[in-house]
A and B are shown apart, each in its own frame.
Chain A
Amino acid sequence: MTTEILKYLFKIITIILVQVLIIQNLYLSNYIVPYPYVLAILILPFETNKLLVLVYGLLIGLSIDLFNNTSGIHASAALLTAFARYYILKYVSPRDGYDKAVKPIVYDMGLKWFIVYAGSLILIHHFYFFYFEAFRFTEFFRVLSRVILSSVVTFGFCYLFQYLLYRQPNNNAK
């Protein structure tokens, strides 16, 4: 159990460092600003206590804020994502509930499930974050295009990160 927690801690720290040191230095466009650190909230195990997920979300958001001068916006957005995760998981759960052995990642749950699960949470996070960051309705459509384009790129990054963070299972019993 402890090794499991350490593994997650290692993964979360890796994700945050990649976000802060690499992804944020990529200049793609003013309309594409991906925040794949959301993955750190997505990969928490299914059976994690929902209150603990909130705490993780807040801490992950705060650590991103620390590096970004955003003072609480990331914390707020990550917290909302952690909150929404509970309901999204409920919505996309298989009929007989989640298996104890599986993790919320592409390998275990399949691509289709992951698109619905990660896609909706990334959209929620980006929608909230970018509108909060701009905080102006005069820029409504410009921000909307930022939300949509960034979400697509973030999803791409999240998908790729899983190949880096998890070993591909050898059996093709999916």
Chain B
Amino acid sequence: MKKLFAFILKNNFVVVFILMQIFCYSIMVNREGFQGSKILNSSNAVAANVYQTASNTQEYFSLKQQNQILSFENAQLRNLLKSNYTAIPLKLFTKNDTLYEQQYSYLSAKVVNASVNRRRNYLTINIGKNQGVDRDMAVIASNGIVGIVTDVSEHFASVMSVLHKDVRINCQLKKDGSYGPLIWDGKNYEYCNLTDIPTHAKIKKGDTVITSELSGIFPEGIMVGTIDKFERKQNEPFYTAKVKLSTDLKIVNFVYVIKNKFKTERDSLEINTQKQIDD
């Protein structure tokens, strides 16, 4: 025992280093875990407020671009206005509203911080728990998907961007519905890979890729991007396609958080089923 203490005293530099390193690893491991240490992420108050201030200044530099995007979206929405349609004077088309229940609702938010060149990219947005944001909600921009909420604080939320090494979003071809997970290989922020597309799918360059209901997070039919090229690797029964994302994640500034009202119901059902299988 005495020798051990003597050893530690003599090598205290190395010992302290190792102890601190263990502390760092424990933060990393906790973060990956379910409860997760919520201290170290950009939705915490200090970091988020610094980013908020910085982004308020930066906003002015991209006003023109953002205006274009928003006016484009306005035009799209205007097309949907009721006044654009001529009423058909027949009583055939009565619509019973009780048949439809709203499943998804949208919250608008501003991006206060974002990155595209790390291997794990995150965005910070300026709405949080107080506005009803929760983990695992989908985040989209006006022209395509952006990511998934991973952490929330009172007024901010961290969003795992699609440009993240662990992200897997189920997407499908708009044409025939063949689906596969969308993953990012870390090379270029404009492209993702759509893998596991069955070879009988009639895939073509320029095909539209949309989100699939299977993801459980995104509503079906949100634009993802277009196929840039595709290939079938040797001995693999699947296509791997390179998808050009429709959202430019480098300039994304205003986003929508999608709230799925049936999510808890669906999740608990799926967990119950899984439990029955396990038993």
Q: Mark B111-125, 1 if CB is under 8 A from A, else 0.
A: 001011111101000
Complex alpha-carbon distance, A30 and B187, angstroms: 6
Closest to B190 in A: A30
Query: Which residues from A are CB-within-8-Å of B118?
Result: 33, 68, 70, 133
1/0 contact string of A128-150 vs chain B (CB within 8 Å): 00100111100100100000000
Q: Are A30 and B188 in contact (CB under 8 A)?
A: yes
Tell me if B20 and A134 are in contact (CB < 8 A): no
Given contacts A29-B117, A54-B17, contact A76 B42 (CB under 8 A): no
Contact of B165 (CB < 8 Å), options: A21, A32, A134: A134
Known contacts A20-B50, A54-B16, A79-B21; A68 and B117 CB within 8 A of each other:
no
> Given A24-B115, A71-B27, A71-B31, A66–B165 Cβ distance below 8 Å?
no
The answer on a CB contact under 8 Å between B117 and A33 is yes
Please indicate which of the listed interface residues A50, A65, A139 has the most CB atoms of chain B within 10 Å of its own CB.
A65
Among A28, A33, A69, the residue within 8 A (CB) of B122 is A69
A113 CB within 8 Å of chain B:
no
Interface size on A, residues (CB 8 A): 39
Number of A-B contacts (CB under 8 A): 100
Q: Is the CB of A134 within 8 A of B31?
A: no
Distance of A88 Cα from B44 Cα, bound (Å)? 36
A76, B28: Cβ atoms under 8 Å? yes
Q: Which residues of A contact B51 (CB under 8 A)?
A: 67
Give per-residue flags for B175-218: 1 if the beta carbon is below 8 A from chain A beta carbons, else 0.
00000000000111100000000000000000000000000000
Residues of B within 8 A of A (CB): 12-13, 16-17, 20-21, 23-28, 30-31, 37, 40-42, 44, 46-47, 50-51, 54, 58, 113, 115-120, 122, 158, 165, 186-189, 250
User: What are some 9 contacts across the A-B interface (CB < 8 A)?
Assistant: A54-B16, A58-B24, A62-B40, A68-B115, A69-B120, A70-B120, A72-B40, A73-B28, A134-B186
